[in-house]
Structure 1
Amino acid sequence: MKFYRVRYKQGKHKRSTVFEAAHKAEALKKFRDKSLGVPVEVKEVSEPFSMKFERFKSRFTNPIQNRRVKDEPYIAFLDQLSTMLDAGMPINTCLAESITDTHDPMIRSIFTEVLRDIESGLSLSRAVVNYQRQLGTLSLSMFELGEQTGTLSTAIAKLSSIMQQIFDNRQKLKKATRYPLFILIAMSIAFTVVITFVVPQFQSFFEQSGMELPFPTKLLLWTEHAIRIYGPYIIGGAIVLSVSFSFAYRRNPMLRLKTDQYFLKIFIVGKVTYYAMIGRFIYLFNVLTEAGIPMIDALEIAMGVVENNYIKQELQKIPTAIEDGRSLAQGFAESGQFEGMVMQMIKAGESSGSLGTMLGKVNRVYNTRYDYIVDNVATMIEPILIAAIAGFVLVLALGIFLPMWSMVDLAG
């Protein structure tokens, strides 16, 4: 967009104002709509600082942010909306009541705009198109499906059910990793406190002895020196590196792909991510095909909820295979993301006409594996945590007591 300064006369006074427009004619039209006075000159200018400041401020004050809405309040909003629609109430009344009852400012603002568009003559699916980033492709597809089939309340209820399962899996993973994270944080704090406050008390004592210090003691003294002298630089460097990597990850598709591929190889984390993404994909694909969405569209929408870019890239081979005339089972095989047992189930379901039943069974297989790993995360990580604690205590004990024992031997 361009900016135009319009100079005009208002009575005996000369004034000016700036409009954002595509061309001079549009700027002049906006000026005349406001009935400010008689235009004298229309000139293209750079964006005024006041407009830049207002746009910058709106990023923080505008409730509609450039991110996804929160799952929990959105699910509650969808549940209420589907229940009211199922009772036969008009869509605008249902939206107005649901907007009033939600406490999330972003959801309230989005659907207030949606309600305004619906009352001006647009359909629900057309009204939410501008909020694809906030609501997701899945929401838009389910709204459109419900309107096309005349079962909007059922489609919204299914959308709520899908999002609830995804949300529950995320919460289950957070709950499972809470204990290991707490242990790691506690160990980090304890290590920092010991290195910072305990080790320096022995440093002068060891230096005055004039004896050759053992390696564990040298390691402790070196670590204390590094934290004390270079601690702020280490923290600052870590922050800069983290921010730089996050920026590069968002902007560089190849880095994003390689990082996500490596992420799948990490102990426990890789399997949890794989089972969560694949299970989510299978579940959503099954629900969408049973709801009547064409297979290619259902695959594209289902891939939209897969957050790992490497898995998403490999799953893209499935719709490509179908478009080239091959079967769904062949597409699943070419993706390389499914084992033989799953392939046989997909092939059997496709040939017998019971694909939905088989996809449901495949989804249960991945959900069972996901639940098993998540439920046993603490048990799997416990040996690593115990080894880390033992190593920390051993280095600390040897670093402090070995020189003391050597001094006792010398004195003896």
Structure 2
Amino acid sequence: MSTTATQYSYKVRDAAGKFTEGKVEAVSEAAVADKLRAMGYVPLEVKASNVGMNREINIGPKKRVKTKDLAVFSRQFATMIDAGLTMIRALNIMADQSENPELRRILRGVKQDVEAGSSLSASFAKSPEAFPPLMVNMTKAGEAGGFLDSAMRQIADNFEAEVKLRGKIKAALTYPVVVFILAILMCCAMLIFVVPVFKGMFESLGGQLPLPTQILVMLSGAMKYLVPLGIVSMVGFTVWWRKYGHTERVRNVVTPRS
């Protein structure tokens, strides 16, 4: 792990509520936040000063917040609240320690909203791409009933059970999916490489080919168009599903309510 110091700009609030900005050198954002808290400040934002370089490095697709990330967050957050930590302090710790960079970014925004007087559930509702309606509603119920720690623990139980179920489903589907994909690849290879060889043989013999053989020859000729179209369609569907598959509207279409 690199220990080279980097210059970070920060925004903090002191005990009197006054906002202050500045710059400091440290090895990581977490180190800057720890240093500021030790000085009695409440860190609101910490980021590397060289924004242009960060944008050049972070050119990959934005990492999604997965159910496993929410399960870990909910469990740890419930433990901190149950141990007597304030909500702001717990959010601050989770915003620094979460392994998912996208969740860290969202939690920083949630912490700022809570500091400004918003409820935790309302802050969650502002990021529907990360926090599902179930989590928002259970958090709202926990805040209203005064059992936020129990509600977050129940959320963690639900998400952990969902992660375990998904793991079992993936494990059960791995073998048939692999066999299905191999069968498709073998059929495509036969139509592309084998059938054209027999096509020339059939034409040299003359006569009328049976209907199934004619259909097979036609499919072989169309494969040079169907294969690229199928690849583009699969890539397009995968991109669309990763972006919109987790939304409530799509879920209602896939699993309509009775």
Counterparts of 1:296-311 in structure 2 under 5 Å? 307-309=251-253
What is the match of residue 239 of structure 1? Answer: 233
- Counterpart pick for 1:209 among 205, 213, 222: 205
Q: 1:28-78 CA distances to partner (integer Å, 9 max, x unpaired)?
A: xxxxxxxxxxxxxxxxxxxxxxxxxxxxx9xx98x989xx73111111111
What is the alpha-carbon distance in structure 2 between the residues aligned to residue 235 and residue 64 of structure 1? 26
Q: Note if contact 1:306-1:312 (Cα within 8 Å) is conserved in structure 2.
A: no
| 1:174 partnered with 2:118 | no
Structure 1 residue 201 displacement after superposition: 2.0
TM-score (structure 1 length as normaliser)? 0.41
| 1:145 partnered with 2:89 | no
Letter of the structure 1 residue corresponding to residue 226 of structure 2? G
- Say if 1:144 and 1:235 are closer, same or farther in 2 by CA, change over 3 A: closer
Letter of the structure 2 residue corresponding to residue 307 of structure 1? R
What is the match of residue 67 of structure 2? Answer: 71
- Say if 1:174 and 1:148 are closer, same or farther in 2 by CA, change over 3 A: same
CA-atom RMSD in angstroms: 3.6
Unpaired stretches in structure 1, ≥5 consecutive residues: 1-56, 251-303, 315-412
The sequence identity of aligned pairs, in percent, is 27
- Say if 1:233 and 1:168 are closer, same or farther in 2 by CA, change over 3 A: closer
Structure 1 residue 212 displacement after superposition: 4.0
Q: 1:87-134 CA distances to partner (integer Å, 9 max, x unpaired)?
A: 122222211222222121221111111112223343323433322453
| 1:163 partnered with 2:107 | no
- Counterpart pick for 2:223 among 220, 227, 233: 227
What is the match of residue 184 of structure 1? Answer: 180
Structure 1 residue 214 displacement after superposition: 3.8
What is the match of residue 52 of structure 2? Answer: none
What is the alpha-carbon distance in structure 2 between the residues aligned to residue 214 and residue 223 of structure 1? 14
Letter of the structure 1 residue corresponding to residue 233 of structure 2? I
Structure 1 residue 234 displacement after superposition: 5.2
What is the alpha-carbon distance in structure 2 between the residues aligned to residue 144 and residue 225 of structure 1? 60
- Counterpart pick for 2:118 among 104, 118, 122: 122
Q: Note if contact 1:64-1:109 (Cα within 8 Å) is conserved in structure 2.
A: no
- Counterpart pick for 2:77 among 81, 84, 96: 81
What is the alpha-carbon distance in structure 1 between the residues aligned to residue 155 and residue 218 of structure 2? 57
What is the alpha-carbon distance in structure 2 between the residues aligned to residue 232 and residue 187 of structure 1? 15
Bigger Cα Rg: 1
Unpaired stretches in structure 2, ≥5 consecutive residues: 1-54
What is the match of residue 3 of structure 2? Answer: none
The 3-state SS of whatever aligns with 2:126 is: helix
Q: Note if contact 2:69-2:100 (Cα within 8 Å) is conserved in structure 1.
A: yes
- Greater helix share, structure number: 1
- Say if 1:311 and 1:198 are closer, same or farther in 2 by CA, change over 3 A: closer
The 3-state SS of whatever aligns with 2:222 is: helix
What is the match of residue 134 of structure 1? Answer: 130
